[in-house]
Amino acid sequence: MPATASAPIELQVGITLITFIVLKLNVMAVANSHLRIPDFTLSPRIDQVGAEERAARFTKRSIKKESKLNGLKLVLNMIDLTTLEGKDTEGKVKQLCYKAMHPHDAVPGIPTVAAVCVYPSMVKVAKKTVDGSGIKIASVATAFPSGQAPKEIKIRDTKYAVNEGADEVDMVISRGKFHAGEYNFVFDEIAEIKEACGDARLKVILETGELGTFDKVRRASDIAMHAGADFIKTSTGKIQPAATMPVTLVMLEAIRDFYYKTGKMIGMKPAGGISKSKLALHYLVMVKEVLGEDWLTNEWFRFGASSLANDVLMQIVKEKTGIYQSMNYFSVD
Amino acid sequence: MASKTKNNTLKLKFDTSWSYAPAPESKSAASINKQYDLFINGEWVSPLSKKYFDTINPANEEKLSEVADAGAADVDRAVKAARNAYEKVWKKMPAKERAKYVFRIARMIQEKARELAVIESLDGGKPIKESRDFDVPTAANHFFYYAGWADKLEYAFPNRNAVPLGVAGQIIPWNFPLLMAAWKIAPAIATGNTVVLKPAETTPLTALKLAEIIQESGLPPGVVNIITGAGATGAAIVNHPDVNKIAFTGSTDVGKIIQRAIAGTDKKATLELGGKAANIIFEDAPLDQAVEGVINGIYFNQGHVCCAGSRLYVQESVAKEVIRKLRDRIESLIVGDPLDKNTDIGAINSRSQLDIIHKYISIGKKEGAEMYESSCPLPGKGFYCRPTLFTNVAQSNRIAQEEIFGPVLAVLTFRTDDEVIEKANNSPYGLSAGVWTDKGSKIFNMTRRMRAGVVWANTFNKFDPTSPFGGYKESGFGREGGLHGLLPYLELKQYS
């Protein structure tokens, strides 16, 4: 075992059979990062007023002409087109998949979205529908959206989604445990889900609307990244507030610090509440100015959204033709 | 993928394939005359000196207009007009009527905000984002605020009879031309004084636009007179025997000359002079927000700010991280056309100021400090300077002691609270300071012991008309803004 095995977490976790297994997983999760697991209570503090002011400053950028058109295409290509409803059916999911592959065929040169995001039970049909298009299938898992289920069930949920063909898994953290200060539990759970994901990329949803402060958002981000997240994600979309620019900024800065410490890139996915092109472009500005070129691709940045796509399409058509068309010209799926 | 490289060579790439297209603000909002005369007694009069001088756009060195160069005789004419208006109209007018005029000027600044912002950026080189979102609205707010005080002086100073001083001679700098005019004129006329104001020779246009607004507002002739010129004009105002009060914002050197000139007279003065503010980051600070505050503290308005946080003190345990964050942040600053809405750093105000900044940059290099500047391209024409920072700076370096008045930051490190307070106070200046820490008690401990007129905690460069502003030591005396800002324009008499 590498030197990382002597991480302080050993002292904090009781030595039982289960934690031995957990420890091994932890070590695997961080083995590539050449980093000791830090004391998460020492995560950097965030000044709320300052973070909000900085976030507001990105919205002052004026995005016009070709940078607007290119930005809109980039946004469309970063969308995880999402349906997460109790009433989801195969029919609904198939239609959404078609929209993902053909957002607006009336105008040539429009990219596809990045992925379709569904519940585990819909993964198989979605996977089959988008076959060969390059579009990824993301599945929420781990007793989404509350995460209030035993760990074993969350792992089975994850494995089921992956076996059905999910390329990406969007898990939720145990916010209750996090608020109770049981960071090791949260960490171990993420590490185990990561293990269950196999080759699928893991997005870790912090549900920032339930965390209360930016300090806690930063701490949860650090836990998730160290435990093996490939992406960190703001929200389930089921809790208000969902994604905001300041909260996304705090997470992007956590990603930047993690990158400088470990050399490992982590993706970012704000989700929920981003339904207008202008706001999405502001997010893009933020990614450009906080993380730069390498993150300006759907490999490292996603929007979790359902209604954003049509607004982006409307704006793209407007940029190309100079005319705003009514929403009736854009398919609702 | 960049992550394959070794830790110590990791670098984020901010020169991205997705970039911002030019987004220039239209110049059509601004109407600038070919030539401007002097605004005396409510009228535009040609100078007795018969001389005019050019004012240029520092972003492209093109001439914008020419303005009158007021001589001693012109100054005398302006002071006489002010004296006449004071004795015959203004001091007799009921305070609530005075307030209405001040309020009207504030409203008209708001109505013409776009034009004023464009002219401010054209004439001074500051980014339109700042003139639009900071200079012009804050100027209007200042008039609104002091309009409110005009008829409430007996509440501001209970049991005292607050009476105006008479004629105020006001000389303002080129870094915030309209805003400084507002800082000077609003409290002076609200308290019942009349004014002779001289804007800086490189940035006279928004003050002249303000003169047009004042004329249109119907303010009684002579209450505000605005005359243009250089140092000699300013000296003539300071030395005029019928001026009761001098309000000056500018360099410490000129401030000292003014002090000498008015010695032995009964002229009152407020001087707002230079600074070399310490911005202090403790290891427990919210670092990303602190870095943002440092960036705003030094690169706001190209660093042409008397209270700019030009000395950064970082606790050694976080110095490396803070410097790395600063270098990244500098890379995302956009330097260029002041009228472009995306520009963060515009043009340096004048050729001579650019020379001064270059001089200090070469001094810093010679002193052995390590220089880092952003890699952004600069426009071919005009006066521009990349955002620059020096690390490995010692307290004894000139770049850590002297005011550069440009986008140049000196980064120093410290170990303990006592050490940093001693170093921060170890300066002839004392205008402003900043403290960044997560610990409330530390903020109060620091602010109590810091010899600076304004101390910002976990923020920087915040201005509000309700808040007094002014310096310690060679940063001047007297306060502008807030209730305190009324005092320099009043004499408080006992009721008898």
User: Quick one: how far is CA A131 from the chain centroid?
Assistant: 22
With contact defined as beta carbons under 8 Å apart, do B162 and B192 qualify? no
Number of domains in chain A: 2
Q: Which helix (H) or strand (E) holds A139?
A: strand A136-140
Residues with Cβ < 8 Å from A274, sequence gap 6 or more?
A243, A280, A283, A303, A304, A305, A308
Closest partner CB to B18 (pick from A44, A253, A296): A296
Lowest mean pLDDT among A25-39, B230-244, B448-462: A25-39
Q: Report chain B residues whose CB lies below 8 A from the CB of A46.
A: 286, 288-289
> What pLDDT sits at residue B86?
98
Residues A110 and A250 in one domain: yes
Local confidence band at B171 (pLDDT 50, 70, 90 cut-offs): very high
| pLDDT at residue B5 greater than cutoff 60 | no
Per-residue pLDDT reduced to its tens digit, B124-141:
999 999 999 999 999 999
Closest partner CB to B3 (pick from A68, A264, A284): A264
> What pLDDT sits at residue A36?
78
Cα gap A225→B388, rounded to integer Å: 33
Local confidence band at A198 (pLDDT 50, 70, 90 cut-offs): very high
Give the CA distances from residue B453 to residues B134, B184, B447, in Å, rounded to whole numbers and listed in that order.
21, 18, 10
Residues A15 and A60 in one domain: no
Q: Which helix (H) or strand (E) holds B209?
A: helix B205-217
Q: Which helix (H) or strand (E) holds B182?
A: helix B177-190
| pLDDT at residue A221 greater than cutoff 90 | yes
Burial of B156 (0-12, 13-18, 19+ CB in 10 A): middle
Residues A32 and A50 in one domain: no
Q: Do B332 and A289 touch (CB under 8 A)?
A: yes
> What pLDDT sits at residue A251?
98
Residues A270 and A223 in one domain: yes
> What pLDDT sits at residue A18?
43
> What pLDDT sits at residue B138?
98
> What pLDDT sits at residue A103?
96
Local confidence band at A28 (pLDDT 50, 70, 90 cut-offs): very low
Residues with Cβ < 8 Å from A129, sequence gap 6 or more?
A93, A94, A97, A98
Give the whole-number percent of chain B exceeding pLDDT 70: 98
Per-residue pLDDT reduced to its tens digit, B287-311:
999 999 999 999 999 999 999 999 9
> What pLDDT sits at residue B6?
45
Is residue B212 among the annotated active site residues? Answer: no
Residue range(s) defining the domain that contains residue A25: 1-37
> What pLDDT sits at residue B8?
55
Q: Report chain A residues whose CB lies below 8 A from the CB of B342.
A: 61-62
Burial of B438 (0-12, 13-18, 19+ CB in 10 A): middle
| pLDDT at residue A17 greater than cutoff 80 | no
User: Which two three-digit tokens encode residue A43?
Assistant: 């995560």
Burial of B112 (0-12, 13-18, 19+ CB in 10 A): buried
ipTM of the complex: 0.94
Q: Do B288 and A263 touch (CB under 8 A)?
A: no
Reference B36, options B72, B2, B64; nearest CA is B64
Q: Provide the CATH number for the domain around residue A122.
A: 3.20.20.70
Which domains, from first to last, does chain B contain? 27-273+475-494 (3.40.605.10), 278-464 (3.40.309.10)
Q: Any CB–CB contact under 8 A between B16 and chain A?
A: yes
**Closest alpha carbon within chain B to A52:** B289
> What pLDDT sits at residue B7?
46
Per-residue pLDDT reduced to its tens digit, B406-459:
999 999 999 999 999 999 999 999 999 999 999 999 999 999 999 999 999 999
Supply the DSSP string of B418-485, one letter for each residue: HHHHHHHH-SSEESEEEEE-S-HHHHHHHHHH---SEEEES--S---TTS-B--EETTEES-BSTGGG
Burial of A322 (0-12, 13-18, 19+ CB in 10 A): exposed
Is residue B97 among the annotated active site residues? Answer: no
Residue A80 bridge partners (DSSP): A115, A304
User: What average pLDDT does the structure give for chain A?
Assistant: 91
Burial of B298 (0-12, 13-18, 19+ CB in 10 A): buried
Reference B272, options B290, B260, B287, B254; nearest CA is B254
Residues with Cβ < 8 Å from B313, sequence gap 6 or more?
B278, B279, B280, B281, B412, B413, B414, B420, B423, B424
Per-residue pLDDT reduced to its tens digit, A199-213:
999 999 999 999 999
| pLDDT at residue B146 greater than cutoff 60 | yes
> What pLDDT sits at residue A4?
42
Local confidence band at B495 (pLDDT 50, 70, 90 cut-offs): confident
With contact defined as beta carbons under 8 Å apart, do B294 and B409 qualify? yes
With contact defined as beta carbons under 8 Å apart, do B94 and B191 qualify? no
Closest partner CB to B21 (pick from A51, A66, A259): A66
Residues A157 and A22 in one domain: no
Reference B326, options B360, B285, B279, B374; nearest CA is B374
Which of helix, strand or coil describes residue A58? helix
pTM (two decimals): 0.93
**What sign results for the dihedral spanned by CA atoms B76, B243, B482, B462?**
positive
> What pLDDT sits at residue B496?
72
Residues A156 and A25 in one domain: no
> What pLDDT sits at residue A306?
87
Q: Report chain B residues whose CB lies below 8 A from the CB of A264.
A: 3
Q: What is the dihedral of CA B41, B47, B49, B54, to 10 degrees?
A: 130
Residues A264 and A316 in one domain: yes
Residue A304 bridge partners (DSSP): A80, A271
Residues A50 and A31 in one domain: no
| pLDDT at residue A237 greater than cutoff 50 | yes
| pLDDT at residue A13 greater than cutoff 80 | no
| pLDDT at residue B483 greater than cutoff 70 | yes
Reference A158, options A94, A99, A207, A228; nearest CA is A228
Per-residue pLDDT reduced to its tens digit, A53-97:
999 999 999 999 999 999 999 999 999 999 999 999 999 999 999
Residue B480 bridge partners (DSSP): B469
Mean pLDDT throughout B221-229? 98
Closest partner CB to B459 (pick from A50, A284, A293): A50
Which of helix, strand or coil describes residue B384? coil
Cα gap A32→B4, rounded to integer Å: 11
Radius of gyration of chain B, Cα coordinates, nearest whole angstrom: 23
> What pLDDT sits at residue B30?
95
Cα gap B173→A91, rounded to integer Å: 70
**What sign results for the dihedral spanned by CA atoms A277, A282, A283, A287?**
positive
Lowest mean pLDDT among A5-9, B74-78, B192-196: A5-9
Residues A255 and A300 in one domain: yes
Measured between CA atoms, how close is A43 to chain B, in angstroms?
Answer: 10
> What pLDDT sits at residue A27?
46
Residues A131 and A155 in one domain: yes
Measured between CA atoms, how close is B282 to chain A, in angstroms?
Answer: 12
| pLDDT at residue A163 greater than cutoff 60 | yes
> What pLDDT sits at residue A15?
40
Reference A93, options A106, A104, A84, A102; nearest CA is A84
Residues A138 and A203 in one domain: yes
User: Which two three-digit tokens encode residue B450?
Assistant: 């810091």
Reference A117, options A143, A76, A165, A84; nearest CA is A84
Residues A50 and A26 in one domain: no
With contact defined as beta carbons under 8 Å apart, do B328 and B321 qualify? no
Work out how many CB contacts closer than 8 A connect A with B.
106
Mean pLDDT throughout B192-199? 98
Q: Do B20 and A74 touch (CB under 8 A)?
A: no
With contact defined as beta carbons under 8 Å apart, do B410 and B397 qualify? yes
